[in-house]
Amino acid sequence: MSQSSQPPNLIRTPRPSLTYRMISYLLVFPIYRFLFRGRTAGNGNVPSQGCLVVVANHGSHLDPPLLGHALGRPVAFMAKAELFRVPILGAIIRACGAYPVSRGASDREAIRTATERLLEGWATGVFIDGTRQANGRVNDPQAGAALLAARAGAPLLPVAIINSHRALGPGQEGARLLPIHIRIGTPIPAPASRRRADLDIATAACQAQINALLDQGLISGRQLGPPSP
């Protein structure tokens, strides 16, 4: 049940800051489109307004900025609190919607912080395995994304990031300039309750959809039409 005075689908989405737009279009866009020959499919599935839990596989440190750019609306991610104290970097990641979580913080505190972001109207990103996976797939999904969705009454949006684990995965010292494509799935309604059974159903649905999108492989230009801006 949402703690907001407005229904979740009527919550106004925060406007991206100038810093966010500059980073997205002047830095992330050329890296995604030209270095990694990035393409995105399924942008029409992204709700333009209201809170949203973006659920993705995780294979690389490249994933958060690429995902935030490709969806066409700001996506907030958790970041270690220490990063916010780094000059310049702290200001940049805060402007991009990142929110701090203290090292050693309880799961409850992290969930509370993420829920606050959702109730402000943000799309909040969650990597469903929690950590990077060497094969880039969803292997051991956690229920945190489903719990967030249940707390805020927010839909879940499965997204598959294809090839990032091969471009800059765990243990790699340098990037390989391979194509990275992003496929956006169809929204899944918020779990009916916070009961474990309902959370597990939503989590399994996200895992199945993301892995199915990954199995579709890289995207051809003919399938996509014009590249996203």
Worst-scoring range by mean pLDDT, 87-91, 190-194, 221-225?
Answer: 221-225
Tell me if 45 sits within 8 A of 186, measured CB to CB.
yes
The pairing of strands 78-80 and 99-101 is parallel
Amino acid at 18: L
133-183 confidence digits (pLDDT tens): 999 999 999 998 999 999 999 999 999 999 999 998 888 878 889 999 999
More confident residue, 57 or 72: 57
Tell me if 62 sits within 8 A of 164, measured CB to CB.
yes
Tell me if 151 sits within 8 A of 194, measured CB to CB.
yes
DSSP conformation letters of 79-122: EEGGGGGSTTHHHHHHHTT-EEE-TT--HHHHHHHHHHHHHTT-
184-213 confidence digits (pLDDT tens): 999 999 999 999 999 999 999 999 999 999
Domains defined for the chain, CATH in brackets:
8-167+178-222 (3.40.1130.10)
pLDDT of residue 106: 53
Q: How much is the pTM?
A: 0.84
pLDDT bucket at 89, cuts 50 / 70 / 90: low
179 DSSP assignment:
-
